[in-house]
Amino acid sequence: MKQESVSQSTPPASPPPSPPPELSAHRPQDDGHPPALWIFGYGSLVWRPDFAYSDSRVGFVRGYSRRFWQGDTFHRGSDKMPGRVVTLLEDREGCTWGVAYEVQGDQVSEALKYLNIREAVLGGYDTKEVTFYPQDTPDQPLKALAYVATPQNPGYLGPAPEEAIATQILACRGSSGHNLEYLLRLADFMQLCGPQAQDEHLAAIVDAVGTMLPCFCPTEQALALV
Protein backbone atom coordinates (compact mmCIF):
# COMPACT_ATOMS: atom_id res chain seq x y z
CA MET A 1 0.00 0.00 0.00
CA LYS A 2 1.14 3.54 -0.56
CA GLN A 3 2.53 5.66 2.27
CA GLU A 4 1.51 9.18 3.21
CA SER A 5 5.05 10.29 2.38
CA VAL A 6 6.45 13.61 1.21
CA SER A 7 8.27 13.61 -2.13
CA GLN A 8 11.57 15.36 -2.72
CA SER A 9 9.81 17.89 -4.95
CA THR A 10 7.78 19.38 -2.10
CA PRO A 11 8.13 23.12 -1.42
CA PRO A 12 10.58 24.33 1.24
CA ALA A 13 9.22 23.83 4.73
CA SER A 14 8.42 26.75 6.95
CA PRO A 15 9.66 26.52 10.55
CA PRO A 16 7.77 23.83 12.45
CA PRO A 17 4.99 25.23 14.64
CA SER A 18 5.86 25.48 18.31
CA PRO A 19 3.55 23.44 20.53
CA PRO A 20 1.71 25.31 23.27
CA PRO A 21 3.83 25.70 26.45
CA GLU A 22 1.72 23.19 28.34
CA LEU A 23 2.44 20.58 25.65
CA SER A 24 6.16 21.20 25.31
CA ALA A 25 7.12 19.22 28.41
CA HIS A 26 4.83 16.30 29.09
CA ARG A 27 7.31 15.17 31.73
CA PRO A 28 9.40 17.49 33.92
CA GLN A 29 12.93 17.75 32.60
CA ASP A 30 14.47 17.28 36.05
CA ASP A 31 13.03 13.81 36.72
CA GLY A 32 15.54 11.98 34.52
CA HIS A 33 13.20 11.73 31.50
CA PRO A 34 13.74 13.67 28.26
CA PRO A 35 11.08 16.25 27.36
CA ALA A 36 8.15 14.60 25.57
CA LEU A 37 5.14 15.48 23.49
CA TRP A 38 1.99 13.55 22.54
CA ILE A 39 0.64 13.92 18.99
CA PHE A 40 -2.93 12.83 18.21
CA GLY A 41 -3.65 11.32 14.79
CA TYR A 42 -7.18 10.70 13.52
CA GLY A 43 -6.65 10.42 9.74
CA SER A 44 -3.72 8.90 7.87
CA LEU A 45 -1.56 9.19 10.99
CA VAL A 46 -3.43 6.25 12.55
CA TRP A 47 -1.86 3.82 10.07
CA ARG A 48 1.25 5.64 8.86
CA PRO A 49 2.77 8.25 11.17
CA ASP A 50 6.09 8.18 9.27
CA PHE A 51 8.06 9.70 12.16
CA ALA A 52 9.97 8.12 15.03
CA TYR A 53 8.09 7.81 18.32
CA SER A 54 8.59 6.19 21.72
CA ASP A 55 5.06 5.04 22.51
CA SER A 56 1.61 4.92 20.94
CA ARG A 57 -1.86 4.47 22.36
CA VAL A 58 -5.28 3.99 20.80
CA GLY A 59 -7.97 6.18 22.31
CA PHE A 60 -10.27 9.12 21.71
CA VAL A 61 -10.85 12.83 22.17
CA ARG A 62 -14.17 14.27 23.29
CA GLY A 63 -15.85 17.40 21.95
CA TYR A 64 -14.90 16.78 18.31
CA SER A 65 -16.37 14.88 15.36
CA ARG A 66 -14.37 13.68 12.34
CA ARG A 67 -15.51 15.00 8.97
CA PHE A 68 -14.34 14.56 5.36
CA TRP A 69 -14.47 18.30 4.85
CA GLN A 70 -10.86 19.14 3.92
CA GLY A 71 -9.67 19.18 0.32
CA ASP A 72 -6.37 17.51 -0.55
CA THR A 73 -4.50 18.48 -3.71
CA PHE A 74 -1.30 16.54 -2.96
CA HIS A 75 -1.57 13.22 -1.09
CA ARG A 76 -5.03 12.07 -2.23
CA GLY A 77 -5.97 14.44 -5.01
CA SER A 78 -4.73 17.07 -7.45
CA ASP A 79 -5.25 20.75 -8.15
CA LYS A 80 -7.91 19.89 -10.73
CA MET A 81 -9.55 17.15 -8.66
CA PRO A 82 -9.03 17.66 -4.91
CA GLY A 83 -9.52 14.60 -2.76
CA ARG A 84 -11.45 14.53 0.50
CA VAL A 85 -9.61 13.96 3.78
CA VAL A 86 -10.64 14.39 7.39
CA THR A 87 -10.51 17.23 9.86
CA LEU A 88 -12.01 17.75 13.31
CA LEU A 89 -15.23 19.68 13.86
CA GLU A 90 -15.97 21.07 17.31
CA ASP A 91 -19.00 19.16 18.56
CA ARG A 92 -20.03 19.10 22.21
CA GLU A 93 -21.46 15.60 21.86
CA GLY A 94 -18.73 14.33 19.56
CA CYS A 95 -16.08 11.68 20.15
CA THR A 96 -13.26 10.91 17.71
CA TRP A 97 -11.07 7.81 17.93
CA GLY A 98 -7.46 7.78 16.83
CA VAL A 99 -3.90 7.15 17.95
CA ALA A 100 -1.66 9.29 20.16
CA TYR A 101 2.09 9.06 19.64
CA GLU A 102 4.64 10.04 22.27
CA VAL A 103 7.81 11.67 20.93
CA GLN A 104 10.77 12.39 23.19
CA GLY A 105 14.01 14.34 23.03
CA ASP A 106 15.25 14.78 19.48
CA GLN A 107 12.14 12.99 18.20
CA VAL A 108 10.06 16.07 19.10
CA SER A 109 11.74 18.50 16.71
CA GLU A 110 12.07 15.90 13.96
CA ALA A 111 8.39 14.93 14.18
CA LEU A 112 7.22 18.55 14.19
CA LYS A 113 9.46 19.39 11.24
CA TYR A 114 8.09 16.47 9.24
CA LEU A 115 4.46 17.10 10.18
CA ASN A 116 4.79 20.78 9.36
CA ILE A 117 5.39 19.78 5.73
CA ARG A 118 2.89 16.94 5.60
CA GLU A 119 0.03 18.56 7.51
CA ALA A 120 0.57 22.33 7.43
CA VAL A 121 2.42 23.20 4.20
CA LEU A 122 0.84 20.51 2.00
CA GLY A 123 -2.38 19.98 3.93
CA GLY A 124 -3.46 23.38 5.25
CA TYR A 125 -3.79 22.21 8.85
CA ASP A 126 -3.20 24.23 12.03
CA THR A 127 -2.22 22.88 15.45
CA LYS A 128 -4.59 22.59 18.37
CA GLU A 129 -4.40 21.22 21.89
CA VAL A 130 -6.77 18.35 22.69
CA THR A 131 -7.36 16.06 25.66
CA PHE A 132 -6.72 12.44 24.70
CA TYR A 133 -8.22 9.51 26.62
CA PRO A 134 -6.29 6.23 26.15
CA GLN A 135 -8.52 3.23 25.49
CA ASP A 136 -6.92 1.19 28.29
CA THR A 137 -6.68 4.00 30.86
CA PRO A 138 -9.39 6.59 30.10
CA ASP A 139 -9.12 7.87 33.67
CA GLN A 140 -5.58 9.07 32.88
CA PRO A 141 -6.08 11.60 30.05
CA LEU A 142 -3.15 13.21 28.24
CA LYS A 143 -2.67 16.61 26.62
CA ALA A 144 -1.86 16.15 22.94
CA LEU A 145 -1.19 18.15 19.81
CA ALA A 146 -3.62 17.69 16.91
CA TYR A 147 -3.59 19.03 13.37
CA VAL A 148 -6.96 20.54 12.46
CA ALA A 149 -8.07 22.10 9.17
CA THR A 150 -10.34 25.11 9.72
CA PRO A 151 -12.63 26.92 7.25
CA GLN A 152 -10.01 29.68 7.03
CA ASN A 153 -7.56 27.58 4.96
CA PRO A 154 -7.86 27.70 1.14
CA GLY A 155 -8.25 23.93 0.80
CA TYR A 156 -11.31 23.69 3.02
CA LEU A 157 -14.30 22.18 1.18
CA GLY A 158 -16.85 22.04 3.97
CA PRO A 159 -19.96 19.88 4.27
CA ALA A 160 -21.59 17.93 1.46
CA PRO A 161 -23.98 14.97 1.24
CA GLU A 162 -22.27 11.65 1.94
CA GLU A 163 -23.08 10.48 -1.58
CA ALA A 164 -21.33 13.51 -3.07
CA ILE A 165 -18.29 12.96 -0.85
CA ALA A 166 -18.22 9.29 -1.85
CA THR A 167 -18.31 10.21 -5.54
CA GLN A 168 -15.41 12.62 -5.07
CA ILE A 169 -13.38 10.02 -3.16
CA LEU A 170 -13.94 7.46 -5.92
CA ALA A 171 -12.70 9.91 -8.56
CA CYS A 172 -9.52 11.20 -6.91
CA ARG A 173 -5.93 10.07 -6.64
CA GLY A 174 -2.79 11.83 -5.39
CA SER A 175 0.92 11.21 -4.82
CA SER A 176 0.21 8.90 -1.86
CA GLY A 177 -2.41 6.83 -3.64
CA HIS A 178 -6.11 6.69 -4.33
CA ASN A 179 -8.53 8.57 -2.11
CA LEU A 180 -10.50 5.33 -1.69
CA GLU A 181 -7.50 3.71 0.00
CA TYR A 182 -7.49 6.52 2.57
CA LEU A 183 -11.18 5.97 3.32
CA LEU A 184 -10.91 2.19 3.64
CA ARG A 185 -7.80 2.27 5.82
CA LEU A 186 -9.56 4.64 8.20
CA ALA A 187 -12.63 2.38 8.26
CA ASP A 188 -10.40 -0.64 8.99
CA PHE A 189 -8.84 1.19 11.93
CA MET A 190 -12.26 1.96 13.40
CA GLN A 191 -13.24 -1.70 13.20
CA LEU A 192 -10.13 -2.65 15.16
CA CYS A 193 -11.11 -0.24 17.94
CA GLY A 194 -14.24 -2.23 18.67
CA PRO A 195 -17.98 -1.60 18.73
CA GLN A 196 -17.65 1.33 21.12
CA ALA A 197 -15.82 3.34 18.43
CA GLN A 198 -18.65 4.89 16.44
CA ASP A 199 -18.34 7.27 13.48
CA GLU A 200 -21.65 7.62 11.66
CA HIS A 201 -20.25 10.07 9.09
CA LEU A 202 -17.45 7.69 8.11
CA ALA A 203 -19.80 4.70 8.03
CA ALA A 204 -22.27 6.54 5.79
CA ILE A 205 -19.55 7.40 3.27
CA VAL A 206 -18.28 3.81 3.27
CA ASP A 207 -21.83 2.59 2.62
CA ALA A 208 -22.27 5.09 -0.20
CA VAL A 209 -18.99 3.98 -1.78
CA GLY A 210 -20.06 0.35 -1.53
CA THR A 211 -23.25 1.15 -3.40
CA MET A 212 -21.56 3.20 -6.12
CA LEU A 213 -18.38 1.22 -6.71
CA PRO A 214 -19.82 -1.53 -8.96
CA CYS A 215 -21.28 1.12 -11.26
CA PHE A 216 -18.23 3.37 -11.05
CA CYS A 217 -15.72 0.88 -12.46
CA PRO A 218 -15.38 -2.84 -13.22
CA THR A 219 -14.61 -5.15 -10.31
CA GLU A 220 -10.98 -5.72 -11.28
CA GLN A 221 -10.38 -1.97 -11.50
CA ALA A 222 -12.06 -1.45 -8.14
CA LEU A 223 -9.75 -3.99 -6.52
CA ALA A 224 -6.74 -2.28 -8.05
CA LEU A 225 -7.64 0.95 -6.29
CA VAL A 226 -6.86 -0.58 -2.91
Distance separating alpha carbons of residues 86 and 149, to the nearest angstrom: 8
Strand 36-41 and strand 126-134: the pairing is unpaired
Pick the catalytic residue from 4, 119, 162, 181: 119
Annotation says 119 is catalytic: yes
Distance separating alpha carbons of residues 212 and 22, to the nearest angstrom: 46
User: What is 100-129 written as a DSSP string?
Assistant: EEEEETHHHHHHHHHHIIIIIITT--EEEE
Q: Which of 203, 197, 130 is nearest to 166 (CA)?
A: 203
Distance separating alpha carbons of residues 108 and 139, to the nearest angstrom: 25
Residue 22's DSSP bridge partners are none
The sign one gets for the Cα dihedral 115, 129, 125, 158 is: positive
Strand 142-148 and strand 36-41: the pairing is parallel
Task: Enumerate the active-site residues.
Answer: 119
